Amino acid sequence: MPEISVIVVNWNGKHFLDTCLSALRQQKFRDFEIILVDNGSADESAEYVRSHFPEVNLIALSENRGFTGGNIAGWEQSRGDIVVLLNNDTEASPQWLEEIHKAGQSFPRAGSFASKMLYFDERNRIDNCGFGLTAAGLTVDLGRDERDGPAWAEPREVFGGCGGAVAYRRSMLEDVGFLDYDFFMTYEDVDLGFRAQLRGYKCMFVPRAVVYHRYRATMKKYPARQAFFSQRNIEFVYLKNMPVGQMLRSMPQRLLYELGGAAYFLKMGAGAAFLRAKRDALRQIPAILRKRKLIQTRKTLTNRQLRSLMQNDWLGSKCKKLLSAWRGPSQAALRTSRSSF
């Protein structure tokens, strides 16, 4: 039985696979398995993996089940005590899995581990070091666009790890559940991280577990699709996980976010996708409330403890991004995080 299972989901990403899988071949830690789930690609990705990386456990699906469905298929066949999700558009440093393994031993009470993700083409600049959560239920990608340096050189607790390079203990997943299939893509990692926190599981940022990431190399090809799933799924996360008391406390901030989001996406030409996302979220409220009941019944974290984990300084950065969008898209605006409108 391998100690670590690495799951890579691929959809028409054959051009990424040599870099991604070759980096896994070069890992110093060797007690792991690779599971690549191909989401019905039309670019011969599955054939490429079979011929060039025979050691990989290939799961070739006949349809695109999204990031969540693909990872669920991998999770069902995984065997490791640590289950790692890795984007196909990444290159892991040789010590990546070794550092995750060390962190698992050094922090036995942590349920998950966030990698340090650096930009693929700017290897001294941070993509993210895990994410934080605001009082209004919005995410903040920690370290985004900062230079890598002493501020991000030590382990620390974070709210959750980005699904592009995150490790979970199997025992935690068996307790809180894995990814929610209904998300399809985007915010599924936030939902899982939120559920884990509510059950009392911590997430540790592991600064020497480095992965280089082509930021949104796949999703940027489909901006309307990205807008729809991000703006629908952020409602899923909020309605499933946020305690009622915290909802009431943060209602003004949440309303301001919704208004700002509508203005942003109208300006960017994705207003129709934004409205469809909110409509679909409303349509699925009965199913969401059934999931919410189970989550809230099983939570061990008090509202006060949850608030102590949340980011406080979100309004200023949100307003700046909104103003920037109204002035016209810039390189910074194009490189928005999940916490952006």
Same structural domain, 97 and 159: yes
pTM, two decimal places: 0.91
Provide the 8-state DSSP code for 47.
H
Same structural domain, 93 and 8: yes
Task: Choose the final residue of a domain: 194, 219, 244.
Answer: 219
Same structural domain, 203 and 120: yes
Q: Residue 210 forms beta bridges with which residues?
A: 116
Same structural domain, 116 and 198: yes
Same structural domain, 280 and 178: no
Q: How far apart are CA 26 and CA 120, in angstroms?
A: 18
The structure tokens 């940027």 sit at 220
What 3-state class would DSSP assign to 55?
coil
* CATH number, residue 202: 3.90.550.10
Question: Is residue 341 situated within a structural domain?
Answer: no
Question: Is residue 154 situated within a structural domain?
Answer: yes
**Alpha helix locations (H) across the chain?**
14-25, 45-52, 66-77, 96-106, 170-176, 188-198, 223-241, 244-249, 251-267, 271-283, 285-298, 303-309, 315-327, 331-334
Q: What is the pLDDT of residue 267?
A: 87
Burial 155-172 (b: 16+ CB within 10 A, else e): beebbbbbbbbbbbbbeb
| DSSP notation for 67-98 | HHHHHHHHHHH---SEEEEEETTEEE-TTHHH
| DSSP notation for 256-292 | HHHHHHHHHHHHTT-HHHHHHHHHHHHHTHHHHHHHH
Please state the φ and ψ torsions of residue 222, each to the nearest 5 degrees.
-130, 70
Same structural domain, 206 and 100: yes
pLDDT < 50 stretches in the chain: 316, 318-320, 323, 326, 329-341
Burial 196-223 (b: 16+ CB within 10 A, else e): bbbbebbbbbbbbbbbbbbbbbbbeeee
What 3-state class would DSSP assign to 323?
helix
Hey, CA dihedral for 21, 25, 28, 33, is it positive or negative? positive
Question: Is residue 339 situated within a structural domain?
Answer: no
Question: Is residue 167 situated within a structural domain?
Answer: yes
Number of domains, the chain: 2
Burial label for 61, CB within 10 Å (0-12, 13-18, 19+), is middle
What 3-state class would DSSP assign to 249?
helix
Answer whether 261's CB lies under 8 Å from 268's CB.
no
Same structural domain, 124 and 233: no
Q: Per-residue pLDDT tens for 235-279?
A: 999 999 999 999 999 999 899 989 988 998 888 888 999 999 999
Q: What is the pLDDT of residue 315?
A: 52
Same structural domain, 136 and 213: yes
Same structural domain, 63 and 166: yes
Question: Is residue 340 situated within a structural domain?
Answer: no
Please state the φ and ψ torsions of residue 113, each to the nearest 5 degrees.
-140, 125
Task: Choose the final residue of a domain: 173, 193, 219.
Answer: 219
Same structural domain, 175 and 117: yes
Domain residues for the domain of 199 are: 4-219
Q: What is the pLDDT of residue 148?
A: 97
Task: Choose the final residue of a domain: 219, 244, 268.
Answer: 219
The tokens for 175 are 């307790």
Same structural domain, 197 and 233: no
Answer whether 240's CB lies under 8 Å from 191's CB.
yes
Q: What is the pLDDT of residue 5?
A: 98
Same structural domain, 149 and 248: no
Answer whether 206's CB lies under 8 Å from 100's CB.
yes
Q: How far apart are CA 150 and CA 129, in angstroms?
A: 13
Q: How far apart are CA 240 and CA 231, in angstroms?
A: 15
Q: Which of 188, 189, 184 is nearest to 167 (CA)?
A: 189
